[in-house]
Amino acid sequence: MFNTKDDAILYPINHSCAHLLAQAVSNIYSDVKFWVGPVVEEGFYYDMDLGEATIKEEDFPKIEKEMKRLAKDGKRIVGRKVTKKEAQDFFKDNPYKLYLIDKFDEDSDEISFYTQGDFTDLCRGGHVESLKELKYFKLLKVAGAYWLNDSKNKMLTRVYGIAFDSEEKLKAYENYLEECKARDHRKLGKELDIFMTSELVGPGLNLWLPNGAVIRRTLERYIVDKELERGYHHVYTPVLASSELYKISGHWDHYKDGMYPVMKMDKEEVVLRPMNCPHHMLLFKNSLHSYRDLPIRIGELGQDFRYEKSGAVMGLERVRGMCQNDAHIFVRKDQIKEEIKGVVELILDVYKDFNIKNYKFRLSLKGDDNEKYYNDPSMWENAENSLREILNELNVEYYEAKDEAAFYGPKLDVQIKTALGHELTLSTCQLDFLLPRKFDLYYIDENNEKVTPVVIHRAILGTFERFSAYLIEEYKGAMPLWLAPTQVMVIPVHHEYHLEYAKNIVTELRKLGFRTELNAKNEKLGYRVREANSQKIPIQLVVGEGEVSNNTITLRRFGSRNQVSYEKNELYKLIEIENKTKFIYEEDNNNN
Ligand code: TSB
Ligand code: ZN
């Protein structure tokens, strides 16, 4: 919607605005050393070393004021070529720019400076003519960013902003930001009593409240049923294991940073598991398998613990204690394609039920870091090529990304964007030639020979935490009938006269399996309807004089002003169908 990077008009405006930000900051703060300030998909940022100083969001008005002053002053933005020597002299006190300049050849004619008034920056160009053209901009947020993305380096201050060529566009963007904030699952999760955290438990360890527990249980039953239907077998395995297990699997060498430290008791050493695969490898190894038994699909709603950095932990979307909708599928080589196809089909089938449409498939490949990835180049080449070939054959549209694989193999990830614009992986399907080898797994082939199987790791809902966070944001907290914590609220017009009729309806609906509540508080009808609306309860049934005498019910849906009267049983049938078909009601949903 607001892609500034690929927009011929917005790109130079945002690029120049990054310079304007740097100029304003250098006027307000002393001794700032600038790194780079690129245009990104939504606006721009500038990374800077502020020395002892800090910039907080409270400082934005002050910085924006200075940016406005400079823009009004309207200096021209003038570029000129410089020699490497000249550039080095000019930036002699800025190690960051020197690092950049150092990358050019001695006699390069590609180094240029761009100057506006008394501010000069090393830059390739792509600017507006004059600062006057920068009128509609806004600073968005501030974050820390390690220099060169390396945690061993200094943490710089990254200030984000965005600029447009008209006031209407800026306004539209501000409205969009407001809407995103309103969708933030942490805000809705609190308002709708879905989950909580406590310092006494710790960051990233969420407590599901009863409303959240209903959503989660509904998801659990849904996905387990789907998997049973597709020939998966579900198991339970413990969250602890001897550290030896992870030494065998390779997690110890390649995933230790993501694990909680070892617990020692007497002579034993145990750890909390970060993944369920090693346990499932042992399950496969527990019995003898013939080639005819494969594929074997072992599923588990597996609780895992990962030591995510406290700064990275975020509501339910990035947690330390998580439950995966996990499975490991043991296949013969000739079954890989068919099985991956099955996983992709399952993903698409599930997404249809939830009406998830904005996602991209990403083929996640190995990076160059040998600590992060198991070192066996030919195994990687084989696995990456097979997965790529299969995706091409299956006609799945995807893009490739380096350094995003698991330590044991490449992945097909489904990438989504959260309300606050974070890109995350929801579902994943991973091809692994390594763990079966590490655990000496085998099946017996048609010639009575032992053959190592291949493993497909897959999580369709990913984790219940992340998936719920995503759904809350997608539905703006208004869960469709089948997922809603309270599905039906019965509201008698008068809290005494119509109480009995209302209670009967509650009993009948509960018998039919609907999560139904009664609101017969001594409050005005309008107030109680508003209450049901603020809890985003999908079906609100109002019963008064007319309904009691005609044996009818008046239906009011969340998000709609319409009220429709039904004969009682007719209404029960209608909502039973909606519940079963996972119907998502969307009519004029923005009114609430
Ligand atoms: C699929 N061994 C595989 C498994 O068999 C595995 O663990 N893969 S994973 O590391 O990619 O995790 C699976 C899914 O869990 C991810 O696709 C993502 O949706 C979810 N996930 C990962 N880390 C977190 C986290 N910190 N918080 C919430 N969800 C997470
Ligand atoms: Zn796994």
Pick the ligand that lies closest to the CA of residue 317: 1
User: Residue for token digits 């049934």?
Assistant: 541
Ligand approaching nearest to the C-alpha of 435: 2
Ligand 1: which residue has its CA nearest to atom 1?
A: 458
Q: How far is the CA of 184 from the centre of ligand 2 (A)?
A: 29
How far, in Å, from the CA of 22 to the mean position of ligand 2?
Answer: 46
SS3 string, 488-535, reads: EEEEECCCCCCHHHHHHHHHHHHHCCCCEEECCCCCCHHHHHHHHHHC
> Which of 108-112, 207-211, 249-253, 329-333 is predicted with the least confidence, judged by mean pLDDT?
108-112
- Ligand 1: lining residues by beta carbon, under 6 Å: 275, 277, 306, 308, 318-319, 322, 324, 326, 328, 425-426, 428, 457-459, 462-463, 465-466
Other C-beta atoms within 10 Å of 380: how many? 19
**Cα gap 48→485, rounded to integer Å:** 46
Which pLDDT belongs to residue 513? 97
Q: Is the pLDDT of residue 322 over 70?
A: yes
| Peptide bond before residue 295 is cis, with ω within 30 degrees of 0 | yes
Label residue 113 exposed, middle or buried (CB < 10 Å: 0-12, 13-18, 19+): middle
Instruction: Dump pLDDT digits (tens) for 502-543.
Output: 999 999 999 999 999 999 999 999 999 999 999 999 999 999
Check: CB of residue 589 under 8 Å from CB of residue 475.
Answer: no
Class of domain 488-581: alpha beta
Which ligand sits closest to the CA of 318? Answer: 1
Cβ neighbours of residue 218 under 8 Å, at least 6 residues apart? 482, 483
Give, in order, the Cα–Cα distances in Å from 304 to each of 120, 382, 497.
Answer: 51, 29, 52
Q: What digits encode the pLDDT tens for the residues 543-585?
A: 999 999 999 999 999 988 899 999 999 999 999 999 999 998 8
CA distance 298 to 327: 5
For the segment 411-415, the average pLDDT, to the nearest whole number, is: 96
pLDDT at 460 over 80: yes
Torsion sign across C-alpha atoms 433, 439, 443, 447: positive
Average pLDDT over residues 170-175: 94
Say if CB 488 and CB 511 are below 8 A apart. no
Q: Using CB atoms within 10 Å of the CB of residue 151, give its burial: 0 to 12 exposed, 13 to 18 middle, 19+ buried.
A: exposed
One fold for both 190-474 and 488-581?
no
Q: Tell me, what's the pLDDT at 272?
A: 98
Query: Rounded to whole angstroms, how far apart are CA atoms 406 and 258?
Result: 12
Residue 587 reports pLDDT greater than 70: no
Whole-number pLDDT of residue 592: 43
Instruction: For ligand 1, pick from 428, 431, 438, 461 the residue to mutate: most ligand atoms within 8 Å of CB.
Output: 428
> Which residue type sits at 334?
D
Work out the number of other CB atoms within 10 angstroms of the CB of residue 172: 14
Radius of gyration of the chain (CA): 29
Pocket test for ligand 1, best of 320, 463, 468, 470 (most atoms within 8 A of CB): 463
Place of tokens 């994943």: 428
pLDDT at 1: 61
CB 341 within 8 A of CB 394: yes
If 0-12 CB within 10 Å is exposed, 13-18 middle and 19+ buried, where does residue 115 land?
Answer: middle
- Distance of alpha carbon 378 from alpha carbon 365, whole angstroms: 14
* Nearest CA residue ID for atom 28, ligand 1: 318
Distance CA 411, CA 384 (A): 8
Q: What is the CATH number of domain 10-183?
A: 3.30.980.10
Q: How confident is the model at residue 589 (pLDDT cuts 50, 70, 90)?
A: very low
The rounded Å distance from CA 423 to ligand 1 centre is 14
Q: How long, in residues, is the chain?
A: 592
Residue identifier of the C-alpha nearest atom 25 of ligand 1:
318
For the annotated catalytic residues, the residue numbers are 277, 306, 324, 326, 328, 411, 457
What is the CATH number that goes with domain 190-474?
3.30.930.10
Least confident of 27-31, 200-204, 372-376, 518-522: 372-376
Distance 460 CA to ligand 1 centre (A): 10
Output the CA 300–ligand 2 centroid distance in Å: 11
Round to whole Å and give the CA distance between 283 and 442.
12
Section 427-435 average pLDDT: 96
Residues measured by CB to lie within 5 Å of ligand 2, the ion:
277, 457
CA angle 368-373-375, nearest 5°?
A: 85
What would the pLDDT profile of 214-262 be if each residue is shown by its tens digit?
999 999 999 999 999 999 999 999 999 999 999 999 999 999 999 999 9
Round the average pLDDT of the chain to a whole number and report it.
94
Question: Does the structure show a pLDDT above 90 at 372?
Answer: no
Model pLDDT for residues 270-301, shown as the tens digit of each residue: 999 999 999 999 999 999 999 999 999 999 99
- Look at ligand 1, atom 3, and give the residue with the nearest C-alpha: 457
User: Where do the structural domains in the chain lie, given as residue ranges?
Assistant: 10-183, 190-474, 488-581
Point out the ligand nearest to the CA of residue 273. Answer: 1
Nearest-atom index, ligand 1, CA of 465: 28
Tokens of 329: 């599928």
| % of the chain at pLDDT higher than 70 | 99
Q: Which of 559, 582, 352 is nearest to 484 (CA)?
A: 582
Position 346 scores a pLDDT of 97
pLDDT of res. 588: 56
Structure confidence at residue 591 as a pLDDT band (50, 70, 90): very low
